[in-house]
Amino acid sequence: MTNNSDSSKDSDLNSDQVENDTDFGKLLTDARKEKKYTVEEVSDYLKIPVSTIIALEACDREALPASTFTRGYIRAYAKFLETSEDAVLLVYSRGMPHDNSRDLKPRSNLPDEASSQSPLIKTITLLLIIAVIAVIGIGGFQYYQKKAGVMEDELDAKQQSFTGNSLDSPGSHPIVIKQNAQLVDGELVVGEAAVAGTESIEPQTASVAVIETSAVSEDETDAQQSENAIDTQSEDDRIEIIAENGSWVEVRDANKSRLLYNMLAAGGSRELFGQAPFSVTMGNAKTTRVVVNGIEVDVSDYIRSNNTASFKVSTQDQEVIFH
């Protein structure tokens, strides 16, 4: 009887020892209470949910996440409480008979299966990124070159349009007409009418001979007549346009009278009189000067990207005023 009683006591003692050896939560709870921390304080510091901390201290394996995450929580909790991380994990492992099995699928070690972290994959990815950047850079550069070429062509076309050929500025290639006329048998005969640089024309009678000297639109004729009429007047305000490289210019005064609407040849200038402020629109603006009542006007702020300018200007007390 005595032996059976002793055997029963030994069995109870071993059972208690096993239970204590697997109670990792008690180790954490005792350490927390010794540090005088509340569960909320631990949760706030470690950023671990309160429910997870309670499950750790209660050894509630059903409420705990996968073993991999639980080990991480235990390690962080033990480190915070300044207790042995390995000791607590050892006790936890005793109560987890299947802890040796991985909760997550292991990475394959087969040589035929390439990993995204392998040097080969990293190198290929880097080369692809460099290739994409290079393609974008080359494409952008070619687009810029094409755009710059179009802008240069437009600028050349505009510059070539300033030929200076007009009624009062013949330009660098004037049209020269030579003709001989004589009265034959009561008819006016025009002979060898030729334009410089072309073949001569056979003599014809005046009734069929047509010589085109210039083509002037009605608007240009009206503008020319308006300019001639205004130039003869003496008004209070005066504006002078000086075209160093040739320019087309339109000038109106405060009464909306058109003072100038014509081309100025390279080096040409026009002096106009009217009532300020003057409304001026001109091309080749960078090399065209404007003087109002003897004061040089700086129009650089009004020059557009296509080298034209449009502004309204007057003077007062020897100062230039833009309107």
How many Å apart are CA 61 and CA 253, to the nearest integer?
96
29/85 same-domain check: yes
143/62 same-domain check: no
- Short-list 71, 105, 109, CA closest to 88: 71
In a domain? residue 73: yes
In a domain? residue 170: no
In a domain? residue 48: yes
Q: Is the pLDDT of residue 275 over 70?
A: yes
207/236 same-domain check: no
Q: Is the pLDDT of residue 84 over 60?
A: yes
240/279 same-domain check: yes
42/14 same-domain check: yes
In a domain? residue 189: yes
The three-class DSSP label of residue 204 is strand
36/57 same-domain check: yes
130/46 same-domain check: no
Q: Is the pLDDT of residue 209 over 50?
A: no
Question: What is the tally of structural domains in the chain?
Answer: 4
Q: Amino acid identity, residue 43? A: S
**So what's the pLDDT on residue 168?**
46
Domain of 82: which CATH number? 1.10.260.40
**So what's the pLDDT on residue 50?**
93
241/259 same-domain check: yes
Domain of 285: which CATH number? 2.60.40
182/243 same-domain check: no
191/143 same-domain check: no
Q: Is the pLDDT of residue 199 over 70?
A: no
Under a CB-based contact definition with an 8 Å cutoff, are residues 88 and 24 in contact? yes
**So what's the pLDDT on residue 119?**
87
Q: List Cα–Cα distances, 195 to 30, 177, 190, 203, in angstroms.
A: 117, 5, 14, 14
**So what's the pLDDT on residue 3?**
47
Domain that holds residue 126: 114-160
In a domain? residue 109: no
In a domain? residue 107: no
Q: What is the pTM of this model?
A: 0.31
pLDDT tens, 211-244?
343 444 555 555 555 555 444 444 589 999 999 9
80/152 same-domain check: no
249/300 same-domain check: yes
Token pair 């208690």 in the structure block, residue: 16
DSSP 141-155: HHHHHHHHHHHHHHH
How many Å apart are CA 172 and CA 165, to the nearest integer?
8
